[in-house]
């Protein structure tokens, strides 16, 4: 089975972990060993310094476009870090970026209209890490995120949104509701490590809305690969979750 | 940064989607009577067995939780009775009334239970209280492992004849004091049922104190057993170490014979 990882990072993670990937070669070695074909990759440095971090990411990924695609971290709610929307969009264009990541915050559609419209227009997917805090700490998602997220998904129906959080179990109703009512929303399955999560979500919303993500190097990719491989769902559904859905989302063929 | 070692052959096979039905996999941390997905007990039992079949897990140790321990233990006994070859029953207790506690332990032993599960959140008095000594002695006498969520690490030091297993113990792998306790107390084990299994955590633990003191647990059906099994199979350790963690260690503690592999 081919795997396409929606969530991994280069650089030093914000938690003490035995592994990290200083460069693309280190990440590719791990991907080869565990059996991951392609990945959407962000750089930890961009969490605090989006300009330097995203530039560093592009340098690291140079020459690996066949397997590693950039996922830019943006921080549009931080006055210090936020660039003008038009400048951000130009840089995304110049670097042919297919996915951006937001940190945990209510994504009010009215508050970031220009940036969000630009992402929607370009079909750049928005990967949303809803976890408050960083690293290994597991906290529930702040409640105000949910209505804002729903409004965003409804008012921008062509904006592709991918959800992730380290702890989503207390928000099952919200996640399911969003997936059911908004066809432009997908879920990184590594956010749901709970009872029969793969089978139940496949049954409720279909396999097309679920994506394989590893959260490397904080988590080990193999556990989420095995979660998909061992699930009681048809092989075609597994193949979609493991590779096909994300390939379609970011416009990758093969 | 740790150098990458090769996966065990079990990890390799699992990553190809193979179920490992030729080695005995024992999940030492499971529950019944917690109503996953709104299921009643009988449906829950059937579903947990189906999940074990999907994952190639031959046996699961099960315990309950709730305020009325007698009631909870009865529920576990009812579940275990449906699949005595697949479930291993553990008693659960609230320790605040030691008199009744000893009676309940005897009752559970008479009904076939083989270990004790405690959860620190439900107790008013710390486990190291002198009042609880008879409980640890009972468990030592009958070779009952004691699995505790919220382990007080003075327990394995003060009660060297009793086996203690820290539920979610692997989450302490970067805590030097906890690692020292494992090294110094041969009666102290860690369960791998981590809410947060950091990449490399099991490799780190094995490098610090070997593979004899880690026991696979998933927290099924709260958690996805496949993901939790995967988090152990993901470890880059030897085949021998992997077999110990997946079943060998707990089989030794419980005196189970492992000539059988997966029962199906
Ligand atoms: Zn548990």
Q: What is the pLDDT of residues A52-92, one digit of tens each?
A: 999 999 999 999 999 999 999 998 877 666 778 999 999 99
Residue B177 lies in a domain: yes
Interfacial residues of A (vs B; Cβ cutoff 8 Å): 1, 15-20, 22, 29-30, 33-35, 136, 138, 166, 192-198, 200, 216-227, 229-232
Position with higher pLDDT, B185 vs A172: B185
Q: What confidence tier does A203 reach under pLDDT thresholds 50, 70, 90?
A: very high
* B223 CA → ligand 1 middle, Å: 9
User: Which tokens sit at A153?
Assistant: 């998904």
Say how many Å lie between the CA of residue A24 and the centre of ligand 1: 38
pLDDT of A136 over the 80 cut: no
Cα B145 from Cα B187, distance rounded (Å): 9
Phi, psi angles (nearest 5°) of residue B144: -90, 120
Q: Which of B231, B118, B121 is nearest to B173 (CA)?
A: B231
| Strand spans (E) along A137-238 | 161-164, 185-188, 210-211
Chain A: give the shortest CA distance to residue B141, in Å: 36
Q: Which of A182, A184, A196 is nearest to A227 (CA)?
A: A196
pLDDT of residue B1 exceeding 80, the answer is no
Query: Which residues are bridge partners to A41 per DSSP?
Result: A8, A70
- More reliable by pLDDT, B248 or A134: B248
Do residue B199 and residue A198 have CB atoms under 8 angstroms apart? no
H or E element: which one contains A92?
A: helix A85-94
Tell how far the Cα of B206 is from the centroid of ligand 1, in angstroms: 23
| pLDDT, tens digit (0-9, with 9 covering 90-100), for A106-128 | 888 888 899 999 999 999 999 99
Nearest-Cα distance to chain A for B50, in Å, is 10
Question: Is residue B197 included in any domain, yes or no?
Answer: yes
Using CB atoms, which residue from B17, B19, B223 is nearest to A1? B17
pLDDT of B13 higher than 90? yes
**Strand, coil or helix: B226:** helix
What lies within 8 Å, CB to CB, of A189 at 6+ separation is A197, A198, A201, A210, A211, A212, A213, A224, A227, A228, A241
The encoded tokens of residue A146 equal 């949910």
Residues of A whose CB is below 8 A from B234: 34, 220-223, 226
Q: What is the count of structural domains for chain A?
A: 1
Substitution target from A7, A222, A225, A234 for chain B, most B beta carbons within 10 A: A222
Contact: B222, A1; criterion CB under 8 Å: no
CATH at residue B145: 3.20.20.140
pLDDT band at residue A156 using 50, 70 and 90 as cut-offs: very high
Query: Tens digit of pLDDT for each residue in B118-148?
Result: 988 777 788 899 989 999 999 999 999 999 9
Indicate if the pLDDT at residue A199 is higher than 90: yes
CATH number of A163's domain: 3.20.20.140
Q: How many angstroms separate the CA of residue A209 from the nearest CA in chain B? A: 19
User: Of A131, A94, A86, A146, which Cα lies nearest the Cα of A112?
Assistant: A86
Residue B1 forms part of a structural domain = no
> Comparing B2 with B159, which gets the higher pLDDT?
B159
Q: Among A22-36, A162-176, A222-236, whose mean pLDDT is lowest?
A: A162-176
Domain that holds residue A85: 4-250
Mutation to test the A interface, candidates B173, B220, B230, B262, most A Cβ within 10 Å: B230
Overall average pLDDT of the B32-39 stretch: 89
pLDDT in tens, B237-249: 999 999 999 999 9
**What percent of chain B has a predicted confidence (pLDDT) above 70?**
95
Q: Which of B19, B20, B27, B227 to mutate to test the interface with A (most CBs of A within 10 A)?
A: B227
Query: Quick check: B201 and A136 CB within 8 A?
Result: no
Q: Is residue B59 assigned to a domain?
A: yes
On chain B, the residues whose CB falls within 8 A of the CB of A216 are 199
A138 contacts on B by Cβ (under 8 Å) = 195-196
pLDDT tens digits along A7-47 = 999 998 877 777 889 999 999 999 999 999 999 999 999 98
> Could you list which residues have their CB under 5 Å from ion ligand 1?
B 219
**Span A87-98, mean pLDDT?**
96
Structural domain includes residue B21? yes
CA of A144: how far to CAs of A151, A188, B189, in Å?
11, 20, 41
Give tens-digit pLDDT for B60-69. Answer: 999 997 777 8
Question: Rounded to whole angstroms, how far apart are CA atoms B230 and A71?
Answer: 26
In a domain, B108, yes or no: yes
> How many Å separate Cα B234 from the centre of its chain?
19
Question: What pLDDT was estimated at residue A81?
Answer: 66
Q: Are A164 and A213 in contact (CB under 8 A)?
A: yes
The Cα–Cα gap between B138 and B142 comes to 6
Q: Phi first, then psi: what are they for A238, rounded to 5°?
A: -60, -45
**Is B3 inside a domain boundary?**
no
Task: Give all strands (DSSP E) within chain A, no chain letters.
Answer: 4-10, 38-43, 68-73, 99-102, 125-129, 161-164, 185-188, 210-211
Write out chain B residues lying below 8 Å of A22, CB-based.
1
ipTM of the complex: 0.92
Structure tokens at A213: 């993500």
Domain count, chain B: 1
Task: For residue B126, give how far its alpha carbon lies from the nearest alpha carbon of chain A (Å).
Answer: 26
Q: Taking CA atoms, what residue in B is nearest to A2? A: B16
| Residues facing residue B190 across a β-bridge | B166, B214
pLDDT at A254 over 90: no
Q: Express as a percent the part of chain B with pLDDT over 90.
A: 77
What pLDDT does residue B186 have? 97
B155 or A15, higher pLDDT? B155
User: Which residues on B lie below 8 Å from A136 (Cβ)?
Assistant: 196, 198
| B2 domain residue, yes or no | no
Q: Domain of B67?
A: 9-261
Query: How remote is the C-alpha of B197 from its chain's centroid?
Result: 16
pLDDT at B264 over 70: no
> Is a pLDDT exceeding 70 seen at residue B260?
no
In the DSSP assignment, the letter for residue B191 is E
């Amino acid at each position: 089975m081919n795997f396409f990882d929606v969530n991994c990072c280069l650089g030093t993670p914000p938690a003490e972990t035995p592994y990290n990937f200083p460069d693309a070669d280190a990440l590719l070695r791990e991907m080869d060993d565990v059996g991951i074909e392609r990945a959407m990759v962000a750089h930890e440095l961009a969490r605090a310094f989006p300009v330097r971090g995203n530039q560093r990411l592009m340098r690291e990924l140079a020459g690996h476009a066949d397997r590693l695609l950039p996922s830019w971290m943006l921080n549009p709610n931080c006055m210090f870090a936020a660039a003008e929307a038009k400048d951000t969009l130009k840089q995304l264009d110049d670097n042919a970026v297919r996915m951006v990541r937001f940190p945990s915050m209510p994504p009010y559609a009215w508050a970031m209209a220009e940036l969000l419209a630009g992402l929607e227009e370009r079909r750049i997917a928005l990967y949303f890490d809803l976890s408050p805090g960083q690293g290994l700490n597991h906290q529930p998602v702040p409640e105000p995120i949910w209505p804002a997220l729903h409004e965003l998904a409804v008012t921008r129906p062509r904006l592709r949104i991918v959800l992730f959080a380290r702890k989503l179990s207390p928000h099952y109703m919200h996640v399911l509701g969003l997936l059911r009512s908004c066809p432009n929303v997908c879920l990184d399955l590594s956010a749901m490590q709970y009872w029969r999560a793969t089978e139940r979500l496949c049954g409720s919303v279909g396999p097309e809305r679920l994506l394989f993500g590893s959260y490397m190097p904080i988590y080990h990719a193999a556990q989420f690969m095995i979660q998909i491989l061992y699930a009681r769902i048809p092989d075609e559904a597994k193949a979609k979750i493991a590779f096909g859905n994300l390939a379609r989302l970011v416009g990758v063929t093969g | 940064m740790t150098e990458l070692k090769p996966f065990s052959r079990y990890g390799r096979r699992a990553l190809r989607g193979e179920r490992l039905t030729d080695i005995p996999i024992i999940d030492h941390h499971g529950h019944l009577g917690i109503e996953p997905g709104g299921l009643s007990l009988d449906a829950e039992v059937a579903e947990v067995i189906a999940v074990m079949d999907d994952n190639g897990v031959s046996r699961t140790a099960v315990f309950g939780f709730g305020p009325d321990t007698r009631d909870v233990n009865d529920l576990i006994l009812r579940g275990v009775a449906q699949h005595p070859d697949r479930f291993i029953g553990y008693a659960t207790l609230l320790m605040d009334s030691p008199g009744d506690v000893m009676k309940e332990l005897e009752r559970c032993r008479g009904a076939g239970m083989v270990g004790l599960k405690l959860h620190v959140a439900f107790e008013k008095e710390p486990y190291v209280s002198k009042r609880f000594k008879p409980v640890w002695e009972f468990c030592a006498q009958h070779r009952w492992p004691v699995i505790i969520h919220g382990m007080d690490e003075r327990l394995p030091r003060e009660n060297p004849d009793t086996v203690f297993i820290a539920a979610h113990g692997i989450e302490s792998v970067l805590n030097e004091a906890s690692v020292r306790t494992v090294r110094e107390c041969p009666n102290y084990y860690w369960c791998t049922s981590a809410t947060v299994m950091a990449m490399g955590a099991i490799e780190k633990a094995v490098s610090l104190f070997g593979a004899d003191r880690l026991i696979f647990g998933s927290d099924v059906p709260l958690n996805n057993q496949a993901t939790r099994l995967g988090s152990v199979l993901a470890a880059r350790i030897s085949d021998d170490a992997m077999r110990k963690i997946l079943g060998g260690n707990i089989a030794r503690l419980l005196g189970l014979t492992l000539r059988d592999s997966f029962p199906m």
